[in-house]
Amino acid sequence: MKRLMTDEGLKVLEAFCLTHTLFAFDYDGTLAPICDHPDNAEMRESTRTLLKKLTQYVPVAVISGRKRSDVEQFLPAGIDFIIGNHGVEGLPSGTDTIDTAKNACLQWKSALKKDLINSDDVWLEDKTYSLSLHYRKATDKKKARTQLLEAVSSLTPPPRIVLGKFCINIMPAGAPHKGVALLELMLKSGTRCAVYLGDDDNDEDVFSLSEENLLTIRIENSINSGALYCLNTQLEIDDFLVKVLEFCESHGKPKRMT
Partner 1 sequence: MTDSIDSNSSLGFAEQLVCLSVDLHALNSSSQKLLGLSLVQWSVLRKILKSPAISAGTLAEESKIHPSTLTPTLNRLESMGLIYVFERPKDLRRKLIVISRAGFALCLEVEKQIVLIFGAHAPSRALEHISEFVNDSVTEMNRFQRRST
Cα three-residue angle 220-129-216, rounded to 5 degrees: 25
Who's near 255: CB < 8 A, 6+ residues apart? Answer: 55, 56, 57, 58, 59
Nearer to partner 1, 6 or 103 (CB): 6
The answer to whether 10 contacts partner 1 (rule: CB under 8 A) is no
Q: Which stretch binds partner 1 (CB under 8 A): 8-16, 25-33, 77-85, 163-171?
A: 8-16
Query: Among the candidate windows 12-20, 59-67, 98-106, 119-127, which touches partner 1 by CB under 8 A?
Result: 12-20
Which of 15/106 has CB closer to partner 1? 15
Q: What is the phi/psi pair of residue 133, to 5°?
A: -110, 110
Does 1 contact partner 1 by CB under 8 A? yes
Binding segment (CB under 8 A) for partner 1, from list 9-17, 28-36, 89-97, 172-180: 9-17
Question: Using CB under 8 A, which of 113, 143, 165, 251 touches partner 1?
Answer: 251
Distance (Å, rounded) from C-alpha 168 to C-alpha 124?
Answer: 10
- Counting residues that bind partner 1 (by CB under 8 A) gives 21
Long-range contacts (CB closer than 8 Å, 24 or more residues apart) made by 92-98 = 92/184, 92/188, 93/176, 93/184, 94/176, 97/172, 97/174, 97/175, 97/176, 98/129
Report the residue number, 8 or 140, with the smaller CB distance to partner 1: 8
Interface stretch with partner 1, choices 15-23, 49-57, 74-82, 148-156 (CB under 8 A): 15-23
- Does position 117 bind partner 1 by CB under 8 A? no
Task: Report the residue from 5, 34, 124, 228 that binds partner 1 according to the rule CB under 8 A.
Answer: 228
Closest CB 58 distance from partner 1, rounded Å: 14
23, 62 Cβ separation under 8 angstroms = no
Which residues have C-beta within 8 Å of that of residue 40, sequence separation ≥ 6?
A: none
Bridge partner list, 23: 60, 195
Classify residue 45 as exposed, middle or buried by CB count within 10 Å of its CB (0-12, 13-18, 19+): exposed
Q: Applying CB under 8 A, which of residues 82, 229, 231, 241 lies at the interface with partner 1? A: 229
Phi-psi category of residue 252: left, alpha or beta, with phi > 0 → left and psi -120 to 50 → alpha = left
- Residue numbers of the site for partner 1 (CB under 8 A)? 1-2, 8, 11-12, 14-16, 18-19, 21, 192-193, 212-215, 226, 228-229, 251
